[in-house]
Amino acid sequence: MATSFVQAKAVAQHLGYPVMVRPSFVLGGRAMAVVFDDAGMEKYMREAVAVSDDQPVLLDRFLDGALELDIDVVCDGEDVAIAGLLAHIEEAGIHSGDSYAVIPALGVPEPILETVRDYSRRLALDLGVRGLMNLQFALKDGIAYCLEANPRASRTVPFVSKATGVDWAGVAARIGLGQSLKQQGITDGVPRAVSVKGVVFPFAKFPGVDPVLGPEMKSTGEVMGIGETFGEAYAKALLAAGIPLPLSGTVFLTVNDADKGRLPELAQKLVALGFGLCATDGTAKALESVGLKVRRIFKVNEGRPNAVDLLKNGEVQWVINTPLGREAYFDESSIRREALRLKIPCLTNLSAALAACEAVETLRGDMTVRAIQSLG
């Protein structure tokens, strides 16, 4: 905790940048931020929140690049049922309400999932929960860190109920009326298909807003996509959320240094799908170093034609921009705002972009439409 910039700087330097900073009491991630350096910390402490002895800020080491898991459980005091375990598509650092998520938790090793289930059961029992509980974990270097444990129903409960075919809110209510899980015949939920929780954002309603995501929640709604494969479920969720992915054309890429290690994987997938590539200098060099052909363009402050010019001229059909640090968020916001104005899909997270490639493959084929009741 810190009640002044001097204290906050000392704590941040002890933990090591970047750090997650937030007021003592927050709702929806309000005024939460990832801070990268002393200058950012000073600005945050001066402008973001009112700080006093009664209202300190909380600082945590930020697990950069971690995978986040959401888990809903229901407990009657003696037994615990795992309602559902979701893997976020975006890495930790994006508010859970703004993250796309998939059930079952695809790509996560079973031993880690079993550890998370075990921790969740033990926490629910030790905390004396009667009813629903939501927990969030971050996975980093094979270790599961419990970020929070909330003894209440989560926004994911309706989604998990549809994904598993169990009315978990009803189960919890009956526990409150004295019925145990055994009496109700309830065991762990089993996903009926691959389901993706999608997110609806209000950016189109607010001209000039920067659509980049972070720890402060910005979404105003959720959708759900169900399919036999992840690609199908994700494609349906994106369509329902009003994000129609292009099936051809040119992709503009500009990613931060931390993402450049995974950039070739994304670029090769895009090329295999038939997309052309254009990029700013640093990203273009990373692509050319692995033998990929890319059109170089200027940054907005470097000259013409730049990324915004290409967007206005209809030469770019998809933007993938992963900012990092204060300068990137500021300098590249004009690209994201222009993409939003022109209704060009813009993804600000590399994991989401990789997942979107699978969605494009599905959209080019035949998608199955079926009633949720038919899942059994």
Domains of the chain: 5-61 (3.30.1490.20), 67-200 (3.30.470.20), 246-344 (3.40.50.1380)
Q: Residue 182: pLDDT band by 50, 70, 90 thresholds?
A: very high
DSSP 375: G
223 closest CA partner among 194, 199, 258:
199
What's residue 278's pLDDT? 93
pLDDT tens for each residue of 135-158: 999 998 889 999 999 999 998 999
Residue showing tokens 């270790």: 143
- Token code pair at residue 253: 């890429």
Q: Residue 270: pLDDT band by 50, 70, 90 thresholds?
A: very high
Cα torsion angle, 104, 110, 113, 117, sign? positive
Q: State the Cα–Cα distance between residues 177 and 155, nearest whole angstrom.
A: 22
pLDDT of 133 above 70: yes
Stated pTM of the model:
0.83
pLDDT of 261 above 90: no
Alpha-carbon distances, residue 194 vs 89, 110, 162, 232, 234 (angstroms): 13, 17, 11, 9, 9
Amino acid, single-letter form, for residue 41: M
What's residue 328's pLDDT? 47
What's residue 101's pLDDT? 93
Q: Residue 35: pLDDT band by 50, 70, 90 thresholds?
A: confident
